[in-house]
Every structure is written in structure tokens, then in C-alpha cells.
Amino acid sequence: MISRRDFLQVAMASSALVGASGFGNWARLAAQQALTQDQLLQFDTFGNVSLIHVTDLHAQLKPIYFREPEINIGVGGNKGAVPHITGADFRRLYGIEDGSADHYALTYDDFTSLAKGYGKMGGLDRIATVVKAIRADRPDAILLDGGDTWHGSYGCYHTQGQDVVNAMGLLKPDAMTFHWEFTLGTDRITELVEGLPFAALGQNIFDSEWDEPSELFKPYEFFERGGVKIAVIGQAFPYMPIANPGWMFPEFSFGIRDENMQDMVDEVRSQGAELVVCLSHNGFDVDKKMAGIVSGIDVILSGHTHDALPEPVLVGETIVIASGSNGKFVSRVDLDVRDGRMMGFRHKLIPIFSDVIAPDAEMAAQIDADRAPYEADLTEVLGQADTLLYRRGNFNGTWDDLICQALLEQRDAQIAMSPGVRWGPSVLPGQDITREDVWNVTSMTYGKAYRTEMTGEFLKVVLEDVADNIFNPDPYYQQGGDMVRMGGLGYSIDVSKPIGSRVSNMTLLATGETIDPAKSYTVAGWASVNPDTEGPQIWDVVEAHIRAKGTVHLEPNTSVEVTGV
């Protein structure tokens, strides 16, 4: 188990004071004390306003293992900049000791052994304890949910988001923005949003018919806290109908709409806002670019790309905060707002170590009550993992290798495709793989596994198109996912090239033959954005495959050669 001393380093590390006096790398300020929940939560209350940020929970109400990415390539102006720094380089940058709790929480290497030592992270009942503790310090703290909350688990799928809505209701956020929530479909998201006792925000959510601001979502909400008039402007995921099936919510249009964001900032400032906070689901690089274009935003609480950063990134006079995903972290930002402007801030990325932070009883009871009808289905063991199963990274992870193998074998295809989403917890070698584990990496409302034919030329178009959504040097053309995962097909990619020229050496792995642009191949995949997709649900395909294998063992995947980094 984790030692008290190790915990201390995370706790103290994350309480680094960064403010008008400049940045300090967090662990430099670590003190040598023992670790307790109190120390994880320790924070010298600062200024007159507190923000609490949670984002990209993906319906992970219970603690999970989640391995951070090994490969996270930055392009253009973001080459080599956070969050595109991983592993040992990340630890050196922030002064994190190898083998420490911070190492485990924030980087990928030695994941299995560290996970066994430090235990699972997250759990909304632990997050509830943290939120309550912050509110004990600062009763009028503002809690903001960055979205991707009502998606990503067995329970969430079967209750159409209700289990997460119920649990989040106890947490009492003040406002929320959205992404995957829209894949519940227009009717359901409308029903849920209309019932929310807090603000549903998105200045970029428009009516697709008239291209006018949506009546269901407000662009911003005002709060009076600590004597300060605060405006929170919402920014939903800009590329919803492109990255997700637009036919499920055809009434809505999105986009970055930074000119409208500027109008909203000017509007709230003219109405007396002394502090302007943007609750964003843009993704980190898009937020950085937007912060440089739109003037007058003090704080961007950034979600979507699942980055966890121990310090804010400063763009002009805007601080950009990244709070991780899957319930692993909560950010607390204290602000000193005087004379109509932000004078200083203090920030802490609080790691939710589930063995150290006590669960909140009320929240735990709520989660378990909604979980009870499904408990037997959730905990059913399908097989055992012999290899660490993880997803995050720009190219293949072992979970997707397994899913691709399931598609190839169960669907009798030459090539398999699995979407490069960033959600999905990890399973350690030696652990049972339960139905819940499979749903955690596959659950969605458009999960049918199609089987079709594609020409080599079309496969190349797919790879090039998706690659440009990740590696276009202009962040405004990036959608924030990872590269589509391929089974049965190897390729080389030069990420520095323009669209059409990145992908080469496409090879059918089974025979070693070069992919022929004119020839047709059988392709199995899932998560098509097209309506009327036919086939079994992906979780059933993966479950059948795991049951057939018994023990899941995956060899390292060397089928993608990456250059131009």
C-alpha cells in the first residue's frame, strides 16, 4: 500500500502557490510530512472566490485505474508543450519523483506496479468528500462540471444517464457544459437539461435550422460570490455533429464561434462582471488558441482532451486549467478579485486517491442504490487479463488491440477499426475482466459493430482524414480524439506532413501484402456516425471474444510506425 510519506508528496506538491508572483513547479514546494486525507485536501484559502472544476467523468462513479498516455504528440506551435509531454519528461518538468504517488497519478510508466501500491483513483463518493471539504472552507465556492459526465458506463447506458444525473444532483454543481451527453439524443438531453436545478451552458450551442442561439442552453450565468460578480460562460464541444452522430441531435449546431464568445465576454463585462470564467469542452490546445484570440476571459476551465496538469498554463492574462478525466482529479482554484479584476490565484490539482479519501456516505448510498439492479450483470467475470489493458495514447492501446482482435475474429474480417476515443479505464494484469470493464471502454448509444467492404483507397482516406483531425497544426481544425485504431493493418505515419501525405506503407498484416488502392477488403468496426448501422453491439462482440479466450494476452503492437515528431 501507499506509504504516508508518498501521499504527502502528492498533497503538498499540488498545493504549490502560483499567482501574481509567478509560477513554481509544484513538487518543489513539497514538504516532508506524512499523508492523510486532510493533507491531500490541505489548501490555504486565498482571495475571495473559489472555483471547483470536475470534467470528463464519463460516468465513472466508482474508483478506477486509469493509465495516462505514453504518446501524446503536439504539432505546430504546441510541439513539445504541455500537455504534449509524457512520462519521465513530464515528471522532470514538474519535479515529480520517480515512483511517487504523483508519478502514478500523472504519468504512464511502471503503471501496473504503482497501481498495485497506490490503489484505484476517483469515485464520485470520494469527489463528494473533497467538494464538501472545499465548501467547508469556502461555503460559496462555485462547482463547475465540464461535461462528458452522462456517458461511459453500463449503468449510464441502461438508465440513459439517470444514474449519473442523480449522483451529480447530490454534488450540486452550479453550471455544466456538454459533449457526449448529446449522444443520448435530442429528446433525452432535452428532458434531462430541462430538469436540471443548475445552469446548462453553451454559448456555441445553436439552433441548426435558423443558426440562432439555442433556447435550451444559456450562453452564460451570473453568480454573486464573495462580493464579486462572476460570469461563467459555457463552451460545449465544438465538433459534436462531426465527431459524433449528428443525426441523433439534428436540431443543434455547434462550432467554436469565437467571435460570439468575444461578444458574450463583452456583454457580461458591460453588465458588470468582475471575473469571467469559461467552462469549456474545447480541448486544451483549442482553449489555448481561443484564449489568445478572445480577450477578457480570466479563467478557462478546460475539458475534453483529458489532460491533467499540476499547474495552470498562462496565455496572456488568461489561466487555463486542465483537470484530468474519469474522476481522477478535482481542481480547486482560489482567486483574489478586487477592483473589477483578477489580482492573483492559487491552484491545486487534487488527486483522488480512493484509499486515502473517505467516501461520502450519502453519495455512496445513492450510487449503490442506482447500481443495485445491475450489480450481478456488472460483476460477472468474463475472463482474466494477462496484460495491462489501457486505452489512452495517440495510437493503439491494448484495450483497442483486444477490441480489434475481437472484431477480426468474431466478425471474420481482414481489417478492424476502433475509434480513438480517450475515455475508458484500465485493467491490471492478473485482474478479472468483468462485464463492467468491457462496458467502461465500449458503452455508447451507437455501438453497433458493422461489417463492410472498403477499398484500399478509401482506407487511406479514412486514415488521412482522422490523422488530420489530430495532427493539423492549427488547433481549431483538431477534434481532440486519438488516431483510429487499426487491427490487421499496419502503416507508417509522418505527423508533420499535410493531409493526404501523412500515411504510407499500408500493409495487410495477415499476409504482409501492400494494401492495393483498387482492391476491396472486409472491414469490421464500430461507433459509425452513420444512421442505420447494422450489426451486434460491440460489447457483445468483445464479451464473446474474451469468453472464448479465457485469458487475454496481448503482444506489444508495433504495426504503426510514427515519424515527424
Partner 1 sequence: MKLTRRETMLLTAGAAAATLLPARAALAAVDEKIAAFTGGAAVGEGGLTLTAPEIAENGNTVPIEVDAPGASAILILAAGNPNPDVATVNFGPLAGRQYASTRIRLAGTQDVVAVAKLADGSFVQARQEVKVTIGGCGG
The DSSP H or E segment spanning 66 is none
State whether residue 393 is helix, strand or coil: coil
Assigned C-alpha cell, 432: 478479472
Binding mask 355-394 for partner 1 (x = CB under 8 A): ----------------------------------------
State whether residue 52 is helix, strand or coil: strand
Binding mask 244-283 for partner 1 (x = CB under 8 A): x-x------xxxx--x-----------------------x
- 31 vs 21: CA distance, rounded Å: 20
Residue of 306, 332, 346, 549 interacting with partner 1 (CB under 8 A):
306
- Residue 400 in contact with partner 1, rule: CB under 8 A: no
CB of 140 to partner 1, least distance (A): 31
Q: Which is nearer to partner 1, 239 or 450 (CB)?
A: 239
Q: Which is nearer to partner 1, 334 or 400 (CB)?
A: 400
Distances (CA, A) of 110 to 5, 68, 117: 19, 11, 11
Which residue reads 483507397 in cell numbers?
Answer: 457
- 162 vs 243: CA distance, rounded Å: 24
Residue of 504, 533, 557, 559 interacting with partner 1 (CB under 8 A):
504
Residue of 126, 179, 328, 348 interacting with partner 1 (CB under 8 A):
179
Q: Within 505-534, which residues bind partner 1 (CB under 8 A)?
A: 505, 507, 511-514, 517, 527, 529
Number of residues that bind partner 1 (CB under 8 A): 58
Q: Within 185-244, which residues bind partner 1 (CB under 8 A)?
A: 208, 211, 237-244
CB of 120 to partner 1, least distance (A): 22
- Residue 484 in contact with partner 1, rule: CB under 8 A: yes
Residue of 225, 288, 460, 502 interacting with partner 1 (CB under 8 A):
460
Rg (CA), the chain: 23
Residue from 199, 201, 275, 274 nearest 234 by CA: 201
Beta strands in 163-312 (DSSP E): 175-176, 199-200, 206-207, 212-213, 220-225, 228-235, 252-253, 275-280, 299-302
CB of 420 to partner 1, least distance (A): 4
- For residue 27, give the amino acid letter: A
Distances (CA, A) of 260 to 219, 263, 283, 352, 392: 10, 5, 18, 36, 33
- Residue 82 in contact with partner 1, rule: CB under 8 A: no
State whether residue 50 is helix, strand or coil: strand
Residue of 479, 535, 546, 549 interacting with partner 1 (CB under 8 A):
479
- Residue 422 in contact with partner 1, rule: CB under 8 A: yes
Assigned C-alpha cell, 41: 485536501
- Residue 538 in contact with partner 1, rule: CB under 8 A: no
Q: Are 169 and 255 in contact (CB under 8 A)?
A: no
Q: Are 294 and 261 in contact (CB under 8 A)?
A: yes
Task: Give residues in contact with partner 1 (CB under 8 A).
Answer: 56, 148, 179-180, 208, 211, 237-244, 246, 253-256, 259, 283, 304-306, 419-423, 460-462, 465-466, 468-470, 474, 476-477, 479-482, 484, 499-501, 504-505, 507, 511-514, 517, 527, 529
